[in-house]
Amino acid sequence: MLQAVSFDDVLLVPKRTFGGSRKQVDLTTYICGRRMKVPIFSANMSSVTEAQMAVAMRRNDGLGVLHRMCSLKEQHQMVQDVYLGVSECTVHDTPAYVSIEGTAVKALERIHSVQHLQPYGYCVDVAHADSSDVEDTLVEIRKEFPNIPIMVGNYATPEGIENLLSCNVGDALNLSFKIGIGSGSQCTTRIVTGCGLPTLESIFRIRNRVPKTVGLIADGGFKNSGDIVKALAAGANAVMLGSLLAGTKEAPGNVIKNSGGLYKVYRGSASFGQKFESGKKGYIEGEETLVPYKGHLTTILNSLVEGIKSGFSYCGALNMEEIQDNAEFVQITQHGFKESTDHGNS
Ligand code: XMP
């Protein structure tokens, strides 16, 4: 049986570092041909990305992906709020991605509702995107919108992506793929269904087979900046974060005070609370929890970016291309993992 590695199973071997400091590291990446100075998306979840988060992500050089757990009218309002909220916005576009369904009629309905605000792109949001339905949806969208950037996900393995790229879906440069099934912190998919693949394993498998020009966004399971460095080194062009950003001021929802301190609600997209609130039926593959309140997004993102740049520097890499070329992964033992974590009292 094959073994699959996740973030905690591996380390990057330190390499000769360059003369300067980590300040020289450039994290610039390209997704669907668009430049991002910080390779981080906020997750398209109702407790992570609405307008306020998307505006803050843009101001911090990342991007937000607006969720779709709402009506067309509510989503239109969100896109408009981002458009109005970002001062550097030109009359031409809104710097956020907009989530749409995996079925053609519903997906096109959402696109028609907001396309006049020219979002950066759309995210076909399906728990398991490796399906002919998703391929048909893409083909239908492309008939009307041949060039709009589209992110599709989620995928665990390369076959689905290869199948989709072989359909009539236009230039692959305008497509990117979200990678990771079952690794989200609120996800119970692996428990409920017995299926999934560690996000890092998915990146290795997919990057090996899919051309470098196709953008990969690693999604789910990030606990710290070290995990992000590993994902980028393994071949992802960017990452998507849920739990690491859910406690920030800019995430939707009020701050909750209890005896333990300040918290915000973080809700899986397939959790009971989410389904109940949006009036949707269906079985449950997610949970809801309280995450500690973390204050402003800028503070959290800055510290993640510092950690990522430091990781690049340890790998002797100045940019995304170099980290992917230089990366040497080793699989570690349980003792190695223990050594990596806080063990001062053991
Ligand atoms: P993190 O680990 O950053 O993960 O909190 C965020 C990602 O988790 C996925 N997601 C879910 N997966 N059931 C799932 O199986 C859910 O209810 C659920 N909610 C979110 C999603 O890919 C998100 O970006």
Residue-wise pLDDT for 187-229, tens only, equals 999 999 999 999 999 999 999 999 988 999 999 999 999 999 9
Least confident of 83-87, 95-99, 151-155: 83-87
Confidence tier at 97 by pLDDT (50, 70, 90) = very high
Ligand 1 centroid – CA 217 distance (Å): 13
* Per-residue pLDDT tens over the stretch 309-332: 999 999 999 999 999 998 999 999
CA distances for 125 relative to 67, 97, 303, angstroms: 9, 11, 29
pLDDT attached to residue 143: 97
pLDDT attached to residue 285: 83
Confidence tier at 230 by pLDDT (50, 70, 90) = very high
Q: Torsion over CA of 264, 269, 270 and 275, rounded to 10 degrees?
A: 80
Helix (H, G, I), strand (E, B) or coil at 155: strand
Distance CA 31, CA 338 (A): 36
Ligand 1 centroid – CA 316 distance (Å): 32
Confidence tier at 89 by pLDDT (50, 70, 90) = low
Ligand 1 centroid – CA 318 distance (Å): 31
pLDDT attached to residue 282: 66
Residues near ligand 1 (Cβ within 6 A): 43, 45, 127, 154, 182, 184-187, 189, 219-222, 240-243, 268-271, 285-286
- Tokens of residue 144, six digits: 């009307």
Percentage of the chain exceeding pLDDT 90? 84
What number of other Cβ atoms are within 10 A of residue 127's Cβ?
A: 15
Confidence tier at 63 by pLDDT (50, 70, 90) = very high
Distance CA 48, CA 67 (A): 8
Ligand 1 centroid – CA 55 distance (Å): 21
- Ligand 1 atom index nearest CA of 183: 2
The answer to whether the beta carbons of residues 225 and 233 sit under 8 Å apart is no
Ligand 1 centroid – CA 190 distance (Å): 12
By the 10 Å C-beta count (0-12 exposed, 13-18 middle, 19+ buried), 137 is classed as: buried
Average model confidence (pLDDT) across the chain: 93
- Ligand 1 atom index nearest CA of 180: 22
Ligand 1 centroid – CA 267 distance (Å): 9
pLDDT for 281 beyond 70: no
pLDDT for 82 beyond 90: yes
Confidence tier at 276 by pLDDT (50, 70, 90) = low
- Report which secondary-structure segment, H or E, holds 95: strand 94-100
Helix (H, G, I), strand (E, B) or coil at 101: coil
Distance CA 185, CA 182 (A): 9
End-to-end C-alpha distance for the chain, whole angstroms? 34
What number of other Cβ atoms are within 10 A of residue 333's Cβ?
A: 9
Ligand 1 centroid – CA 183 distance (Å): 7
Helix (H, G, I), strand (E, B) or coil at 182: coil
The answer to whether the beta carbons of residues 68 and 58 sit under 8 Å apart is no
Give 177's strand partners: 152, 216
Confidence tier at 22 by pLDDT (50, 70, 90) = confident
pLDDT attached to residue 223: 98
The answer to whether the beta carbons of residues 32 and 151 sit under 8 Å apart is yes
pLDDT for 180 beyond 90: yes
To test the pocket of ligand 1, the residue of 224, 228, 269, 283 to mutate (highest count of ligand atoms within 8 Å of its CB) is 269
- Ligand 1 atom index nearest CA of 246: 5
Going by the DSSP 8-state scheme, the letter that residue 180 receives in this structure is -
Q: Atom 9 of ligand 1 has which residue's CA nearest to it?
A: 184
pLDDT for 275 beyond 80: no
* Per-residue pLDDT tens over the stretch 154-168: 999 999 999 999 999
To test the pocket of ligand 1, the residue of 68, 177, 186, 200 to mutate (highest count of ligand atoms within 8 Å of its CB) is 186
To test the pocket of ligand 1, the residue of 47, 152, 187 to mutate (highest count of ligand atoms within 8 Å of its CB) is 187
The answer to whether the beta carbons of residues 102 and 122 sit under 8 Å apart is no
pLDDT attached to residue 302: 98
Confidence tier at 346 by pLDDT (50, 70, 90) = low
CB environment 240-273: b (16+ within 10 A), e (fewer): bbbbbbbbbbbbbeeeeeeeeeebbbbbbbbbeb
pLDDT attached to residue 200: 98
pLDDT attached to residue 279: 66
Ligand 1 centroid – CA 243 distance (Å): 9
Q: Atom 14 of ligand 1 has which residue's CA nearest to it?
A: 187
Mean pLDDT of 117-140: 97
Ligand 1 centroid – CA 113 distance (Å): 26
**Residue type at 113 in one-letter notation:** S
- Ligand 1 atom index nearest CA of 267: 19
Q: What angle do CA 103, 212, 149 make, to 5 degrees?
A: 35
Distance CA 73, CA 92 (A): 21
Distance CA 319, CA 27 (A): 6
